[in-house]
């Protein structure tokens, strides 16, 4: 699957405020195929492990609390050039800098509560997909 899959999470505030369907519509309209998807509550331990690369950053504690405050929608998406194309679709981390037409421009509340995750490399896409899904949950 290398080079044509990415991993996403619709983050807790976006699930809670009812934008899940709108974000999934944008994902499908932009040519991504859903290979796996589930609603999932992360424990603090799981959120901390997922974002371990940021453990030395000042926002890490708040990020772990936020990402475990309610369910997320985790998904594996397939498309040619999936990682790069999905990062373009979600837009900049800070919605103030996100381009028109991006998911974060439309739905992010802030740089922290920014609606949607997207993997940053093919290697991390596989690691993140396998963190959330077993082989029997991937289609
Ligand atoms: N984040 C934050 N404050 C910052 C930078 C990041 O709260 O100054 C959060 C935000 O939710 C972001 C996540 O940490 O999506 C991971 O940060 P990263 O720099 O990897 O951004 P992303 O890859 O999600 O655009
Ligand atoms: Mg990142």
Judge if the beta carbon of residue 22 lies within 6 A of ligand 1: no
Q: For each of the chain's 139 residues, which pLDDT tens digit applies?
A: 457 999 999 999 999 999 999 999 999 999 999 999 999 999 999 999 999 999 999 999 999 999 999 999 999 999 999 999 999 999 999 999 999 999 999 999 999 999 999 999 999 999 999 999 999 999 9
Structure tokens at 33: 């195929």
Asked if residue 75 lies in contact with residue 110, where contact means CB atoms within 8 angstroms, the answer is no
Question: Which ligand 1 atom minimizes the distance to the CA of 92?
Answer: 25
Whole-angstrom Cα distance, residue 82 to residue 5?
Answer: 5
Question: Which residue's CA is the nearest one to ligand 1's atom 11?
Answer: 112
Element (H, E) at 123: helix 122-132
- State whether the beta carbon of 88 lies less than 6 angstroms from ligand 1: no
Residue nearest to atom 3 of ligand 1 (CA): 112
- For the entire predicted model, the pTM comes to 0.97
Structure tokens at 12: 């807790």
Please give the backbone phi and psi of residue 41, each rounded to the nearest 5 degrees, phi first.
-95, 120
Q: How far, in Å, is the centroid of ligand 1 from the Cα of 139?
A: 29
Give 77's strand partners. 6, 34
CA atoms within 13 Å, Cβ hemisphere of 11 = 23
Q: Going from the N-terminus, what domains does the chain have, and what CATH number goes with each? A: 5-134 (3.30.70.141)
Ligand 1 centroid vs 54 CA: distance in angstroms?
Answer: 9
Report the candidate in 82, 78, 45 with the shortest Cα–Cα distance to residue 64: 45
Q: For residues 90 and 116, is the Cβ–Cβ distance under 8 A?
A: yes
What token pair was written down for 110? 């802030």
Nearest atom in ligand 1 to the alpha carbon of residue 114 is: 11
Which ligand is located closest to the Cα atom of residue 63? 1
pLDDT of residue 2: 58
Torsion sign, CA atoms 48, 53, 58, 63: negative
Catalytic, 117? Answer yes
Catalytic residue among 104, 117, 119, 125: 117
């Amino acid at each position: 699957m290398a080079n044509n899959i990415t991993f996403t999470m619709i983050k807790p505030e976006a699930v809670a405020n009812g934008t899940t369907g709108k974000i999934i519509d944008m994902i499908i309209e932009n040519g991504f195929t859903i290979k796996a998807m589930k609603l999932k509550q992360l424990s603090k331990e799981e959120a901390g492990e997922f974002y371990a690369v940021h453990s030395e950053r000042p926002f890490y504690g708040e990020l772990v609390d936020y990402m475990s405050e309610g369910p997320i929608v985790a998904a594996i998406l397939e498309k040619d050039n999936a990682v790069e194309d999905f990062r373009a679709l979600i837009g900049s981390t800070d919605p103030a800098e996100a381009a028109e037409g991006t998911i974060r421009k439309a739905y992010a509340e802030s740089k922290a509560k920014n609606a949607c995750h997207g993997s940053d490399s093919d290697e991390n896409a596989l690691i993140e997909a396998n963190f959330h899904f077993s082989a029997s949950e991937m289609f």
